[in-house]
Structure 1
């Protein structure tokens, strides 16, 4: 990782008066957002700001906490003196990182049983991740329903639609895939452990292991840039 990705600035902007954080990598951005900052993505820049409507004391509290969290995991933060701190807040594995670990289990799965077991964390009835996500969307819809602005019932309806239709399709398909894998009981042909041995009955002295070569890794496409709201 480039050293520049470990550097951030967190200062009160001289022109707008906003507390702005610039620089860092996706992990730093996640820390900022979990501390209350809002991402702003524009054509030629990407930075984070504090929410509008906060008083100066609350802005300082959040900025100090962000600096403490960033420094605790090794980021170098250039900040206003009012935001600097010697405190280092403990950093724990986030829930999102725990969910992302399922992808790592899938990448290393060598049998259909391994893959089905990993997907079960998503698809399990009652307390699987997909059911929990459905609950979050529904609870957010309930919150919006009577929040008071004219557009709020629309947001509530949209969230319920996403929970029932889109998430419902994903859940149904993944459950079918998980159940299919659970019934197959077979090793993955490209991931089966191989010791390189040649069968004893092989007559050709130059024979080598008959396992197929591993598939080439396909690079992932770069993430699309999302346009931010103009302020």
Structure 2
């Protein structure tokens, strides 16, 4: 597997608080990473830095072996897809027109969307269960429908690396499962890398193969899911007791204890 996005000695300090430091992270094609940690631990700060939307205070980010800052903006946008949390800016447009925003990095200065772009946008909408919504106004969508539309924009973009901040925010249980399954399948099938900030330990356990824990005090821990998602490790991360349950099919579930 080729490394698509990596950090070297990455560090961040916010309001005189050391969030993380010396972070060496490698995202390879086909991998699905989940980032977990308590509120204020630096998860969004890290994602913004990986996306080039926040300057790295320490260390560097490299995309396909090249410093992220050296990439022209359009070339970088073809390779990096980003979903920010609670990014609801509603313009008077249709669902299909919004999904087509994902194709903009691939358009030349004088080229407009063609049938290929339309097909990719429609396929992305279908992937998030929005087929048939193409002509709906964006302002008519519920919170969950709008969230799925934003994910469709990233899917239509077809980036090699997807960086998603709380992608299942506002989604019902069925769509949490189906959307994460779609994202994971896309990453594996196309040899792309996926990194998601999540708050649900059990969703991370089910859909991610690698985990990064941010404690928010400079400490980090990363590795394969089965090595990281252990009860005692998670209790220390979140500062609360947990119970670990088995589902009888080899799966494990974590619930808050007494």
Task: Name the TM-score, length of structure 1 as normaliser.
Answer: 0.25
Bigger RCO (CA 8 Å, 6+ sep):
2
Task: Name the TM-score, length of structure 2 as normaliser.
Answer: 0.23
